[in-house]
Amino acid sequence: MKKIASVLALLFPILCMAGESAQTLVDTDLMQEPYSDAKSLAKLKAHTAVEVLKRMGGWLQVKPSENPEGWLKLTVVKLGGAGAGADTKGDTGLTALWNTATQGRSGNTGVTVATGVRGLSPEDMKNAKPNPEAVKKLGDFAVNKSQAEAAAKKAKLSKHDIDYFADAAGSKK
């Protein structure tokens, strides 16, 4: 089973950001390493198209078409690509898989599946009729602390004592 899962993961490397197109927001340096004091590889103009290879902390590894691979801060990059107008939906992550699964199915039968009203517009929210049964149902999926801790351990997550940031008034929040 595990083998199948890893083979599937190889076949569908869907979640690395590789291939997502993006553009620079401002004139910026393309860095050799993901650090602000790293060597600059090139100067990129605002709106330079780049391909995103991966994210590491607050940095993205990118490949501009005219330059070698390098690193840009998250904040100077806009995902979605140069020339991508307001008509780009900007779907990332697993959305494409979901769309294939749901719309693919409707395509096979030749019937357009109406998924019903599943919006959460401001109007929907205002007119919502409460569903207390669904709140009770939530209890079925609750876990206890030792289950949460075991799951964290499995993913090699270890906890740290870190203070909250002080707000503008100087109090820890």
Partner 1 sequence: MSPRTLWLWVLLLLATTYAQAFTLDLNKLIDAGKKVGETKEVDEHGEAEIGNTAAASLLGAAPLVDNPQLQRYVNKVGLWLAMQTERPDLPWRFGVMDSDSVNAFAAPGGYVFITRGLLLQMHSEAELAGVLAHEIAHVVKRHHLVAIQKNAKTGLASDLLSMAVDNTGSQYGEWQKKAISASTELYARGLDKEDEFEADRMGVVIAARAGYDPYGLPAVLQTLDSMNPQDSNLALMFKTHPAARKRLELLDTLMTGTMERYASQPVVADRFEQVVGAYARAGK
Residues 144-173 that bind partner 1 (CB under 8 A): 144-145, 147-149, 151-152, 154-165, 167, 173
Give the gyration radius of the chain's Cα atoms: 22
Among 10, 11, 66, 130, binds partner 1 (CB under 8 A): 130
Report the nearest approach of partner 1 to the CB of residue 140 (Å). Answer: 7
Dihedral sign for Cα atoms in the order 146, 152, 156, 160:
negative
Among 65, 125, 170, 171, binds partner 1 (CB under 8 A): 125
Report the nearest approach of partner 1 to the CB of residue 170 (Å). Answer: 14
Considering beta carbons, is residue 45 or 145 the nearer one to partner 1? 145
User: What is the four-CA torsion angle of 31, 36, 39, 44, rounded to 10 degrees?
Assistant: 40
Report the nearest approach of partner 1 to the CB of residue 14 (Å). Answer: 7
3-state helix, strand, coil in the chain (%, to 5): 30, 20, 50
| Separation of alpha carbons 142 and 111, rounded Å | 37
Span 72-101, contacts to partner 1 by CB under 8 A: 73-75, 77-80, 86-95, 97-98, 101
